[in-house]
Amino acid sequence: MDAIGIKDRAEKQSKMEQEEAARQHFLKTLKRLPKGRYEVSLPWLEVLQPPANNRIIAEGRLRRTIKTLQSQNLLRDYEDVFHEWLKEEIIEPVNISRLGDLLCTYLPHRAVIKENSTTKIRPVFDASAKQKNGSSLNSCLEKGPNLVELIPSILNRFRLGTFGVIADIKKA
């Protein structure tokens, strides 16, 4: 396509324009929910079709994860993470019959086990999963600004003061 002069919209925009568009999308779709949580819509790319229904991939990954965790006697611990998320309303059940013809994407996940960590087992989601010749959720979303570039300046500013303070805001 490049050879005949057709370029992707993202390639035509400068890095600053792309970051500003992502910021504007965020501000435009940001909502505060009644219980105080925030919600923002995904920044879909206009040029790509949303990923095809990847339920088969997600179910296959789930079956393998369950089998692995059962053999290690860790399935109950993994399920407990999801039950805790339900209780905290981080996730919610979805009634599949109410979806009808709506396009939906499933997030495959797997367990990461760290014996010497305070969080021994945790789910890790794979938004890069895709069917053969298909697109993934990640490939259909705007990338947004590269915040990694900010780390050196943040670390330098952190060193300026006499005391450094950090906090875990998970329960805030």
Which residues touch 77 (CB under 8 Å, ≥6 apart)? 69, 120, 121
**What is the pLDDT, as a whole number, of residue 1?**
47
Strands 38-39 and 109-113: unpaired
Cα–Cα distance between 141 and 40 in angstroms, integer?
13
| Tens digits of pLDDT across the chain (172 residues) | 455 545 555 556 788 888 888 889 999 999 999 989 899 998 888 766 667 778 889 999 999 999 999 999 999 999 999 999 999 999 999 988 888 777 788 899 999 999 888 889 999 999 999 888 888 889 888 887 788 989 999 899 888 888 888 877 664 4
Q: According to the model, what pLDDT value does residue 8 have?
A: 57
The CA distances from residue 168 to 66, 113, 157, 164, in Å, are: 31, 22, 19, 14
Confidence at residue 147, expressed as pLDDT on a 0 to 100 scale = 84
Helix or strand (DSSP H, E) at 122: strand 121-125
- How far is 103 from 8, CA to CA, in rounded Å? 24
pLDDT (0 to 100) of residue 172 = 40
Q: Which two tokens stand for residue 151?
A: 């780390």
Length of the chain counted residue by residue: 172
Per-residue pLDDT, 128: 92
User: Which residue in 109, 116, 128, 117 sits closest to 69, CA to CA?
Assistant: 109
Contact 107, 125 (CB under 8 A): yes
